[in-house]
């Protein structure tokens, strides 16, 4: 059973209520961002829509941006955990393939979030900045595979290739929202498999030089 397949520990009543409040705030904010625009929506309006006090928001989120990108932070944190805790003999490519294979299909909230971001150039820049956190994380892990340090140019280049590939596939999942042709989850995974196998071969060649 993979680490992403492991059933989460059962939350206590207090933790469940906190999670419900967090989810309610995130859903209310997303709906308001889509209806009124991200910049036009205030934290006070989000609090009212979520039926919580304005100060309650700051117990769960630091800002409107933190609310909008909360899922992104969760994914990056889980991937870092998998890379850091991968068993001996498991490569970065193995861990990354397992992580992506266990990710859920984009749901309506994911599509709505993408629509909000794509309608706001400043948010697009912030999204790219957040995705930029993925590259050094992968480079550090790849350097471990190579037995070198994270400043190794080879690790940096492979990490950049991985990041670009996943961003491209992610964009294609949402292409229908901008009038283009989307791809299915199966098609996306097939593309990712091809890219990862290509990169795996390159990494193995480097390791045996």
Of 198 and 138, the structure prediction assigns the larger pLDDT to 138
Indicate if the pLDDT at residue 209 is higher than 80. no
Buried b (16+ CB within 10 A) or exposed e, 23-37: eebbebbbbbbeeee
Indicate if the pLDDT at residue 134 is higher than 90. no
Task: Report the chain's mean pLDDT, rounded to a whole number.
Answer: 82
Of 176 and 193, the structure prediction assigns the larger pLDDT to 193
Say which residue the tokens 């820049």 belong to. Answer: 125
Q: What are the structural domains, with CATH classification, of the chain?
A: 13-62 (1.10.10.60), 69-207 (1.10.357.10)
Tell the burial category of 158 from Cβ atoms under 10 Å away from its Cβ (0-12, 13-18, 19+): buried
- The count of residues in the chain is 209
pLDDT of residue 23: 92
Indicate if the pLDDT at residue 8 is higher than 80. no
As given in the structure block, the two tokens for residue 139 are: 């480079």
Alpha-helical segments (H) within the chain: 13-36, 43-50, 54-57, 64-68, 70-84, 92-101, 108-118, 121-131, 134-146, 153-173, 185-207
pLDDT digits (tens, 9 = 90+) for 88-108: 888 898 888 888 777 766 778
Task: Count the Cβ atoms, other than its own, within 10 Å of residue 206.
Answer: 16
DSSP SS3 for 178: helix
The pLDDT confidence band at residue 195, using thresholds 50, 70 and 90, is: confident
C-beta contacts of 98-104 below 8 A and 24+ residues apart: 98/2, 98/3, 98/4, 99/4, 100/166, 100/189, 100/192, 101/189, 102/2, 102/4, 102/5, 103/4, 103/75
pLDDT of residue 176: 44
Share of the chain above pLDDT 70, in %: 84
Q: Report the pLDDT averaged over residues 131-140.
A: 87
Of 25 and 188, the structure prediction assigns the larger pLDDT to 25
Of 134 and 52, the structure prediction assigns the larger pLDDT to 52
Q: Report the pLDDT averaged over residues 96-124.
A: 83
């Amino acid at each position: 059973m993979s680490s992403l397949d492991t059933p989460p520990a059962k939350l206590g009543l207090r933790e469940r209520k906190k999670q419900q409040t967090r989810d309610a705030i995130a859903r209310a904010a997303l709906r308001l961002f889509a209806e009124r625009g991200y910049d036009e929506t205030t934290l006070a309006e989000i609090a009212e829509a979520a039926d919580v006090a304005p100060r309650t928001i700051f117990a769960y989120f630091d800002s409107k941006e933190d609310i909008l990108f909360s899922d992104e932070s969760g994914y990056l944190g889980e991937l870092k955990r998998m890379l850091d805790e991968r068993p001996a003999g498991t490569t970065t490519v193995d861990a990354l393939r397992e992580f992506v294979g266990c990710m859920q299909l984009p749901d309506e909230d994911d599509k709505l979030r993408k629509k909000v971001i794509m309608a706001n150039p400043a948010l697009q820049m912030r999204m790219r900045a957040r995705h930029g956190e993925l590259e050094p994380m992968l480079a550090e892990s790849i350097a471990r595979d190579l037995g070198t340090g994270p400043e190794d140019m080879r690790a940096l280049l492979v990490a950049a290739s991985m990041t670009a590939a996943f961003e491209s596939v992610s964009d294609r999942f949402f292409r229908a929202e901008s009038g283009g042709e989307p791809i299915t989850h199966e098609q996306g995974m097939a593309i990712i498999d091809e890219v990862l196998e290509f990169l795996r071969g390159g990494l193995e060649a480097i390791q045996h030089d």
